[in-house]
Chain A
Amino acid sequence: MSQAPAPASPVYWRLNTGVYRLIGIKCNDCGHITYPVKKICPECGSLNVEEYKLSRSGTVHTYCVQWAPPPGFEAPIVPIIVDMDGGGRYQGILTEVTSPEAVKIGDKVEMVFRKVMTDRGLNVYGYKFRLVEEE
């Protein structure tokens, strides 16, 4: 399969700080927050950007429940877009949830460290999100 990811790939090694330490950038001109780190703001083209550590919590902006993932992935996967506390959006996976009724837009979520996949016997780790328990 042409899209098969390889855990030892330099692609993932290069993304380490972005994925594991949540380091991105904030543009001092337009305020756009994004990741991974880059020198040019993708929103406005400004070079006036600084490193920005993303929050580990936020609220659900939107989500879906993927029942037909590509080969090698177990269904269902719940992709979500999160409005992060403090600004910026994050694209990730919601864990511990398998039905659309279990989550709604605006729910609070937080990052947890999880194995995201196994490829040729090697584990790939990353953050997933889980719903924050109400008091």
Chain B
Amino acid sequence: MRGKVAVIGAGQIRFGELFEMSLADMVEEAYLNCLNSVDKGIDPKEIKAAWFGQWSGGFIGQGAMCGASLASFIGNLEIPVTRLENGCPTGGDAFRHACLGVASGVYDVALAVGAEKMRDKPSAESLGGAGGGGGAEMGLHPSWMMGMGGPGIQALHATRQMHELGYTMENFARVAVKNHHNGTFCPYAHYQFEVTIERVLGSYIVCWPLHLLDCCPQTDGAAALIVCRAELAKKYTDKPVYVMGSNIGIDHKNLWDRSSFVEQLSTVRAARGAHAMAGIKPSDVDFAELHDCFTNTELMNIEDVGFARKGEAAGMLMNGEFDLDGRLPINPSGGLKAHGHPIGATGVGQLCEVFWQLREQADKRQVKLTNGIGTQHNVGGDAFGVAAYNILSRSI
């Protein structure tokens, strides 16, 4: 994979509560933005395959999605299109598959699209659709799974981080302060307002120890990326971004099989494999988009991908090291926390941000580049047992 694939176009829509837009409307706009972003232009017919990251299918009432859905949305019925679902890493994995399609030599140009419509149902139902309830949909019993779902699973980690690592609710809240601040500079972010530690800690408790403002929102959104064989990249742009590593990491599907609640081995495995593929160390990375579905999760991710030793991320955060102007900016887009988390679109949107940052097109949220390497990460699925990690670079 290393250096064989280039990203030549990236487009998304502003994430948010998009009641006026259907899933098809969102995909159309993200796709057109993506096509129009290709500096020297591209004929849509040059796209030879597509992957559609779409997590919820029929869960949230938008109808079950398949390859024909995306093909119809973009008016291209002559190419193979696959819908892919792999938990919260759905978007990151759709991108990985497009890259694999190109790296294999089968397709010169491929498209990855992610989209999710989460706001057509009230929050509680939308969250219930996102893996909670009694557990029957997961083949599990309510005496094991009652009331679980994303917030519950991450709150179980947060309690343990506080106990084992000495982390505090103030530490978690500081992640929200940082990411909301970044979001105010991002025209695509769902939330574009500042929060303070006091406001986070004063917000409603969703699942102790996590407050409402520790949680990412339920968001509608869509994003798209075009990749091609690296040798062809200059035909489309003078500033391509190259894919250096792309990996999926796995851990147990049941929480009770997991070895630790302060570490997610899915992330550890995804990042370790991708860094090896790219031939780089975590310390070579200039900035990262890490999956902050909850504030405590960002701290865990920073450690799990190898940017800090276990137990050190909170101190580094409080010192400002992960701020936009810090040593290693984390989530310049505002992260899931402010940018939003339309599940299938999330990873693709993060990769758009990495693309723009590496091309120095990120305006007021532009980070400083040293090695010209940025990474993208998702973690989720059953018991957060799936993680995606993609490494992009402006040079091979």
Contact = CB atoms under 8 A, between A and B. Distances in A.
Given A2-B129, A100-B209, A73 B146 contact: yes
A80 to B, nearest CB: 8
Contact of A70 (B59, B128, B140, B163): B128
B147 A61 contact: no
B125 A1 contact: yes
Contact of B148 (A34, A79, A117): A79
B252 interface: yes
B261 A70 contact: no
B147 A66 contact: yes
B156 A3 contact: no
Interface stretch (B107-115, B200-208, B298-306): B200-208
B101 interface: no
B207 A66 contact: yes
B132 A3 contact: yes
A124 B142 contact: yes
B333 to A, nearest CB: 26
A65 B137 CA distance: 23
Interface residues of B, number: 49
Contacts of B140: 15
A133 to B, nearest CB: 22
B148 A67 contact: no
A11 interface: yes
Interface in B284-326: none
Interface string A58-85: 0001111111111111000101010000
26 contacts: A2-B59, A3-B131, A3-B133, A4-B136, A9-B136, A11-B141, A19-B143, A32-B257, A34-B254, A62-B156, A62-B157, A63-B159, A64-B155, A64-B156, A66-B148, A69-B146, A70-B128, A71-B124, A79-B146, A79-B148, A81-B256, A81-B261, A89-B256, A89-B257, A116-B143, A116-B146
Interface of B: 58-59, 124-125, 127-129, 131-137, 139-149, 151-152, 155-160, 163, 204-210, 252-258, 261
Interface of A: 1-6, 9, 11-12, 15, 18-19, 32, 34-35, 42-43, 61-73, 77, 79, 81, 88-93, 100, 105, 116-117, 119, 124, 126-128
